[in-house]
Chains A and B, each alone.
Chain A
Amino acid sequence: MDRDCCLRVFACEQNLLSRPDGSASFLQGDTSVLAGIYGPAEVKVSKEIFDKATLEVILKPKIGLPAVQEKNQEQIIRNTCEAVVLATLHPRTSITIVLQVVSDAGSLLACCLNAACMGLLDAGLPMKSLFCGVTCALDSERGIILDPTDKQEKESRALLTFAIDSLEKKVLMITSRGSYSIEELQQCIATSQKAADKLFQFYRDSVSRKYSKS
């Protein structure tokens, strides 16, 4: 099949920052996000939750101050992480995920999700399963484009981003723009699940490589 069913080059560097408890930089093509994670750390009294950890996500844009869109994405990422992080194991603490956009060339939210997951892995925080982010663009002529670039995103009719968990390949989060049919949605989900397999294999290889000397 001659479709755009191809993930761009992806790369990841773990534990690259000395100060945070866990850090990872995730690159998908020319899109790149850096994640720094602190936790389980001290929590402000006002944000303390007595039976679980307070999960906080900060997304920093590269240019200017965070706007509504960043706040919205922060919330999306936070909810996704909350679904997999076992926050009850560390009550009255804080888990802070700081994401810095390094370059945006399409599929930014998916890259943020992947960076967050690799960062959480590096910090060694307890999780029920892994998760990954996959973006699908729907083009009027070519159907589904996996992991689109910013140009493809602009040309697309609809754009869907999924977070998929590793345990049963279930969908943890969907966010979309544009219009699409139910069939297309299901096709996108099926495609993302297949892409997720590749990403999870990549996660596993990265972690194996990190532990190859111990």
Chain B
Amino acid sequence: MREPPLSNCEKSFLLKAIQEGKRLDGRETYDYRNVKISFGTDYGCCIVELGKTRVLGQVSCELVPPKINRPTEGIIFFNLELSPMASPAFELGRQSELLVKLNRLLERCLRNSKCIDTESLCVIAGEKVWQVRVDLHLLNHEGNIIDAASIAAIVALSHFRRHDVSIQGNEVTVYTPEEREPVPLSIHHMPICVSFAFFQQGTYLLVDPSEREERVLDGLLVIAMNKHREICTIQSSGGIMLLKEQVLRCSKIAGVKVTEITELIQKALENDKNVRKEGGKCGFVESMPKQWITAFKVEKALVDMSDVEEKAEEILSRAETPAEMASKPVLWAPGTAQIGEGLESSWRDMEEEGEVEDEDDEGGIDDPTLAVSQNIDMEDIPRKQEKNSDDVIILSDSEEDEVIILEPEESRKNTRSKHYAVPSAKKATGGKKKKKKFTL
């Protein structure tokens, strides 16, 4: 599907509004959209909403052998997916330039900044380490994917608990959550991306661009920072020249935003932890806006099953008892068997009825015979040829009409039978027919 086009009028209006310091959703230049974080019932599952942009994050882990050059380090793997749900322009399974860019940026922001202690993920050096996998799914694209994804990734990682393990000699025991409380990952710091959009060759600047703003921007600067104001990654794209002062100003703004977001994340994590400790309800059902008219919830619904059995019996008693099947297999030739009566071919021509008649019962197992026909005695072959001439008519009626009209009836049959004396020939034509269909 294609993205709805952006009209000239929208473009010029957006740029004009930006010049006046106004934005479509009423935000100021440096305003970030609202961030909402909700957790699922599983550990390591969260949905982050940045305005209307939504990202689902899920962390999982498994025991794997480590990489040869780093035998004492666990492995962290990031996978951001742009689901076709998020925008009509996204296609399933296509590695677009945007996707590669976003994944690379996420890796730089979270893996290369060493925010997760990979050495603590080592179980037995050189043999077994934890591989942590972070899956991020973009659910709705309303701009600034990278910020939402980076928040979702760090929130999911902080929320995640892995199974506890114990080592005795070379024996590794993995405990289920019931046996031992799962353990959190050790996270040194929380890097968060903040995006800045530049317009008119860097004259104007916006924080957290929306989707429409992204479509008219000239350049994008992404700064990943933690709450200690340490820059983890910085990337400028779009090919605009930024002055030193601009970058410094952006990093100051990023510092403020990151502090705010980190506080929010910690509050959300704390909140979820308390709810879980008290054994209260958690999960997405609880975070659904109940007062909205688009949302609706009902409590457990009892279903009356008292007359289910009677009804089932009633239906069964009305049903006809199935006819006894002939279950005795008939052996026709070595490697060939038939079960049941076989069916009459409804395809044969009227004129050939006579010669087919005596082979009726074999009609049902036509194909198996073909498949194993190489080791059939010679005397069988003429019979097979006749039968195959039957098949030919089935094949020819769809596409080779012209041939049938041009050639006399007798010769056609003969040429075809020659073809089909070799079983592989049928396969070849079958394949050809298929191909033809596809090109149609």
Contact = CB atoms under 8 A, between A and B. Distances in A.
User: Direct A–B touching in the complex (beta carbon < 8 Å)?
Assistant: yes
Interface of A: 1, 3, 5-20, 23, 25, 27, 30, 32, 34, 36, 38, 41-42, 58, 60, 62-64, 94, 96, 98, 100, 102-103, 105, 144, 146, 182-183, 186-187, 189-191, 194-195, 198, 202, 205-206, 209-210, 212-213
Closest 6 CB pairs of A and B: A36-B85, A186-B312, A11-B297, A98-B85, A206-B296, A5-B305
Given A10-B298, A11-B288, A19-B141, A103 B42 contact: yes
A34 B139 contact: yes
A80 B414 CA distance: 47
B137 A100 contact: yes
Contacts of B296: 11-13, 202, 205-206, 209
Contacts of B284: 25, 27, 32, 102-103
Contacts of A14: 294-295
A9 B311 contact: no
Given A3-B305, A38-B1, A195-B303, A100 B135 contact: no
16 contacts: A1-B305, A9-B298, A9-B300, A11-B298, A12-B296, A17-B54, A19-B142, A30-B40, A32-B285, A34-B139, A58-B92, A62-B45, A100-B139, A183-B312, A183-B313, A210-B294
A208 B79 CA distance: 39
A210 B133 CA distance: 38
Nearest to A37: B85
Contacts of B56: 34, 62, 100, 102
Contact of B140 (A11, A17, A64): A17
B1 A191 contact: no
Nearest to B84: A98
A8 B300 contact: yes
B41 A30 contact: yes
Contacts of A41: 1, 88
Contact of A96 (B1, B45, B306): B1
A212 B306 CA distance: 36
Nearest to B41: A30
B195 interface: no
B312 A7 contact: no
Q: In the complex, which of the residues B295, B303, B309, B311 has the most CB atoms of chain A within 10 Å of its own CB atom? A: B303
A186 B311 contact: yes
Given A9-B299, A144-B305, A58 B87 contact: no
Contacts of A16: 294
B308 A187 contact: yes
A9 B303 contact: no
B292 interface: yes
Interface string B61-89: 00000000000000000010101111110
Contact of B137 (A10, A17, A60): A60
Given A13-B295, A102-B40, A186-B312, A191 B84 contact: no
Contacts of B307: 190
A20 B311 CA distance: 42
Given A11-B288, A41-B88, A103 B40 contact: yes
Given A198-B301, A198-B303, A209 B293 contact: yes
A103 B316 contact: no
